[in-house]
Structure 1
Amino acid sequence: MYRIGIDVGGTNTDAIILDEFHQLVHSVKSPTSLDIKTGIEASLRKLLQESSIDKTQITHAMLGTTQCTNAIVERKKLATVGVIRLGYPATASVPPYTAWPDDMVEKLSGNYALVHGGYEYDGQVLSEVDEDEIRELLAAWRGTVESIAVIGVFSSIKNDQELSVRDLIHEVYGEEYPVSCSSLIGSVGLIERENATILNAALCKVIETTTQGFVNALEEEGITDAAVYLCQNDGTLMSIDYAKQFPILTIACGPTNSIRGASYLAKIKDTMVLDVGGTTSDIGVLQDGFPRESSVAVEVGDIRTNFRMPDIISVGLGGGSIVRVDESGKISVGPDSVGYRIGEEALVFGGSTLTTTDIAVRLGLADVGDKRLVSHIEEAFAKAVQAEISAIVEQAIDKMKTSSEDVQLVLVGGGSIIIPDSIRGVAGMMKVENGSVANAIGASIAQISGQYEQIYIYAREPREACLKDAEAKAVKQAKLAGADSDTIELVEVEETPLAYHPENATRLRVKVVGKMK
């Protein structure tokens, strides 16, 4: 029995095979192609050819991809979206798409409607949904929007209106029509939750293309019976059907794969992880084996959102980062990189661009390429560049700390050869075997998660009953994502009292995890 894990990075696409005991059988790295799909196919083909395993014994295949992130950042391959906000006339002063970049609004069509519906902060009805109003709107939008986002005011307390509108859309447009409900995606805060829901709706075509492309690539290589999963940004997996409902959950899954892989390889559940790629370095924190989540609103493609995101800092430092010296003699490293062209452009490979990898080879930290091609670099200069690399890493680590104490650091990623052996603020640094493919390993060993978040009013319903309800709904999400119901267990409960509410209202977030079926 084997598992295949593929992780698409900005520079390389990594692919690995694990056996039934989660031991690494083989790994490969291929340059990430511009269309991504070609790079995945090349890595998969190379992996299978070099490992010579029995393809019929492959039971699971996992993909961590940057497709959805790229689509938002590059404004490409996005669906046109219709936005239905339930909350008229109370929310008319701040319409949807407020503070969005103009090019993004234009790309998504900018169609929105403020209709009757929504709840007050204490769960009382603001106004009832007008079914005729919705039907008229859908008749007007027919053929002009490819996906719909439904956002109800305070739907985080009660979401039945959102779900009833979703059912109505499916009745009018068909069961397969993509609809995103904000109560299932974002947290408290109307505008940020709405923004996340619109982005989720816009990604429906991208995720369809990505998942189908991965399945086709597997079938072309003769892998037809494997269960296929995509990586989520909390370090867990989800089924293809679940990913099609919540494509936004793939955003930032790359760093979380690396963090989970680092935890597995280092056999440590609580530490800081530095993942150095070819273009960027990502720093995250492991808490009980899972990546720490961000507690603040996060911008995605210059759009402020509040859906679940990992607490990650990314800096423009990698193995392909370009080293420059200005007229005054000041050294700069990155943020631009030669990326997947490092094998052609770095000095040690016969190129003409000075990169951080060249510096690492000159100082004896790495043995790649031809070290004679960097022998002309003065040692003092190389050490000055190394000091600049250290400063970039130290500053990023300080931002991730929650205390002034020195931290333990696990170092992974193919670009980790550029990191000095000693960094201020780091008590100990661990470099793990197979750390260069920690991202693909993290994708392969991950579990399935389910998460549910809602505001409960403890004055009306006992706390224990609320906890049971939230856990049951989280378990339902985990099952939908592909978890084996017999293995699901509760791993996290977070309660946040809402000070402004007179009846002891609490934002309750529950997370469960289980094994793959």
Structure 2
Amino acid sequence: MKYRLGIDVGGTNTDAVILDEQQTVVASIKTHTTADIESGIDHAIAGVLAESGIAPADIHWAMLGTTQATNAIVERKELARVGVIRLGYPATVAIPPYTEWPDDIVQILSGQYALVHGGYEYDGQTLTIMDDDELREVLTGWQGKVDALAVVGVFSALNKDQEEHVAAIAQETLGADIPVSLSATIGSIGLIPRENATILNAALYKVIQRVTRGFSEALRQRGVNDATVYLCQNDGTVMSLDFAAQYPILTIGSGPTNSIRGAAYLAQKKNALVLDIGGTTSDIGVLVNNFPRESSKGVEVGGVQTNFRMPDILSIGLGGGSIVRQHADGSVTVGPDSVGYRITEQARCFGGDVLTATDIAVRLGNAALGDPSLVTDLDDDLVQKAAAEIRRMLEEAIDKMKPSAEDVDLILVGGGMIIVHGQLTGTAHTYTDSHGGVANAIGATIAQVGGQYEKLYQYANVDRAKAIADATALAERQAATAGAIPESTQVVDVEEIPLAYAPGDTTRVKVRAVGQLK
């Protein structure tokens, strides 16, 4: 029997599950996320192996969903020094790289950039001729000053040849091991947000190296030596460690995505609203045809506006550890601050002195946690007001994310789902499962390997069918590169978006493909 091991690291809890070949949950465990992250992962692996009794040698696939990339950007830790080469001189000098970036992160990334000749017009014509000597002069001047490169060309979504040419020269000049991020493979249309995403991707290469080494080492120490290892992407699929090393930014947002995919698996629903309540936040996403709905607008990460793919998630500061306060005027608020992973030390029902949303659930008899006698003295009016506020916050968030005015099916998951009691307004039916507390780890474990390709085509010059076939082939190749068995890849989504402002019936074609694990 071949088993899958999946781990998801959240801000409060680290969850682990083992699934068999029929994708049935064999064992699951929820442990506290540790300050150093790695020891929490190790505890989770050890715990789920012990609970299942499965030999480590029988684990053939291991998946990790992690918030490390997000945390590194938000906390400004372990980021690499990045040199930015923009192909677009002199047309783009008015808005240089790092415009509107927070000063602290610019200083950490070195702030090195160069505007050089190159780029394309919106119709695919060359903007200015590239100058290899100019490139080599810039790169030579950066020796010892940058750790990675971000290469960004104007309208490279039409043609990425120039960006690839720069990468080749960079590896000749700075060495074959220099990490190079190409904007054509990362962001969408829009020069500045695409450039921002590419810079962040380049800055994360040290972080992803540490994550992959730490996960691989934790597996090895627990005897899981023969498993193929994957990291979770933010579109509900996974990627190989080598692919993740090139595109670490694709791990950002993978936590909520894993919960949505896990919820779909548990409820056996392809279309629904998913509410994942953790210890600190509640994340609401939309399940469309078994995958999370993608955000249609740019996403801000750590104060930086980007346009790379991200799930459409609404997060609110409400979780099982959210702190409940009664104010002088009698009103009650819940969150946004939380006791987080210290809930078993600080919450009232566990002997602490902080009143949390979990204490309210225990006092109402909706959850059997800790010692219920420790919350019997809570004032009834306070408890009812807190429960009403929790319900109001969730119903308001659901109303914002509903795809229509009609009542929608709701899948409720997450370790903090005990704070919900009864059916929420705006929902038709609520689905729960005994494994809902570890839905995020399940989502990581059931995932297929994914690839996505996006390109601009001018249908006036290229036959539509040929354009879609080309994008499909490239998406399938991307999935294979990410670690899928090539002959198993299949297309799950094709999106065409006409660009009204561009000539020649220009259309953005985006294709998503998935394949089986190797």
Quickly name the TM-score band, shorter chain normalised: over 0.9
Alignment deviations for residues 93-150 of structure 1 (CA, whole Å, 9 cap, x no partner): 0000000011111111110000000000000000121111111111100011001000
2:81 and 2:69 mapped to 1: Cα distance? Answer: 15
- Aligned twin of 1:198: 199
- Aligned twin of 1:430: 431
- Write the letter of the residue equivalent to 1:371: P
- Aligned twin of 1:267: 268
- Structure 1 position 402, deviation (Å): 2.4
Is 2:374 the counterpart of 1:373? yes
- Aligned twin of 1:216: 217
- Structure 1 position 173, deviation (Å): 2.0
- Write the letter of the residue equivalent to 1:243: A
Asked if the contact 2:326–2:382 (Cα under 8 Å) also holds between the matched residues in 1, the reply is no
Asked if the contact 1:363–1:379 (Cα under 8 Å) also holds between the matched residues in 2, the reply is no
- Aligned twin of 1:303: 304
Larger deviation: 426-435 or 477-486? 426-435
- Write the letter of the residue equivalent to 2:113: Y
2:108 and 2:145 mapped to 1: Cα distance? Answer: 13
- Aligned twin of 2:39: 38
1:235 and 1:506 mapped to 2: Cα distance? Answer: 25
1:47 and 1:198 mapped to 2: Cα distance? Answer: 38
- Write the letter of the residue equivalent to 1:301: G
- Write the letter of the residue equivalent to 1:184: T
- Write the letter of the residue equivalent to 1:187: S
Asked if the contact 1:347–1:355 (Cα under 8 Å) also holds between the matched residues in 2, the reply is yes
- Aligned twin of 2:181: 180
Is 2:162 the counterpart of 1:161? yes
Structure 2 SS opposite 1:493:
strand
2:145 and 2:9 mapped to 1: Cα distance? Answer: 33
- Structure 1 position 175, deviation (Å): 2.2
Asked if the contact 1:362–1:379 (Cα under 8 Å) also holds between the matched residues in 2, the reply is no
1:377 and 1:57 mapped to 2: Cα distance? Answer: 50
1:61 and 1:460 mapped to 2: Cα distance? Answer: 45
- Aligned twin of 1:503: 504
Asked if the contact 1:80–1:109 (Cα under 8 Å) also holds between the matched residues in 2, the reply is yes
Asked if the contact 1:231–1:237 (Cα under 8 Å) also holds between the matched residues in 2, the reply is yes
- Aligned twin of 1:236: 237
- Structure 1 position 49, deviation (Å): 2.4
Alignment deviations for residues 318-350 of structure 1 (CA, whole Å, 9 cap, x no partner): 000000111111111001100000010001100
- Structure 1 position 419, deviation (Å): 1.1
Aligned counterparts, 1:125-140, within 5 A: 125-140=126-141
Asked if the contact 1:421–1:429 (Cα under 8 Å) also holds between the matched residues in 2, the reply is no
Structure 1 SS opposite 2:456:
strand
Structure 2 SS opposite 1:180:
strand
1:215 and 1:430 mapped to 2: Cα distance? Answer: 35
- Structure 1 position 502, deviation (Å): 2.3
Larger deviation: 4-13 or 52-61? 52-61
- Aligned twin of 1:226: 227
Structure 1 SS opposite 2:318:
coil
Structure 1 SS opposite 2:100:
coil
- Structure 1 position 380, deviation (Å): 3.0
Q: How does the TM-score come out when normalised to structure 1?
A: 0.99
1:135 and 1:3 mapped to 2: Cα distance? Answer: 47
Unaligned stretches of 5+ residues in structure 1 = none
- Aligned twin of 1:406: 407
Aligned counterparts, 1:323-472, within 5 A: 323-472=324-473
Asked if the contact 2:407–2:426 (Cα under 8 Å) also holds between the matched residues in 1, the reply is yes
- Aligned twin of 1:492: 493
Is 2:145 the counterpart of 1:141? no
Structure 2 SS opposite 1:96:
coil
Structure 2 SS opposite 1:115:
strand
Structure 2 SS opposite 1:392:
helix
Larger deviation: 397-406 or 252-261? 397-406
- Structure 1 position 84, deviation (Å): 0.3
1:515 and 1:147 mapped to 2: Cα distance? Answer: 32
2:313 and 2:35 mapped to 1: Cα distance? Answer: 25
- Write the letter of the residue equivalent to 1:226: A
1:109 and 1:68 mapped to 2: Cα distance? Answer: 19
Structure 2 SS opposite 1:408:
strand
Structure 1 SS opposite 2:412:
strand
- Structure 1 position 51, deviation (Å): 2.2
Alignment deviations for residues 50-94 of structure 1 (CA, whole Å, 9 cap, x no partner): 322111111000000000000000011100100000000000000
Asked if the contact 2:187–2:193 (Cα under 8 Å) also holds between the matched residues in 1, the reply is yes
Structure 2 SS opposite 1:21:
coil
- Structure 1 position 496, deviation (Å): 0.7
Q: How does the TM-score come out when normalised to structure 2?
A: 0.99
2:176 and 2:21 mapped to 1: Cα distance? Answer: 38
Identity percentage of aligned residues: 60
- Structure 1 position 48, deviation (Å): 1.7
Asked if the contact 2:332–2:382 (Cα under 8 Å) also holds between the matched residues in 1, the reply is no
Structure 1 SS opposite 2:335:
strand
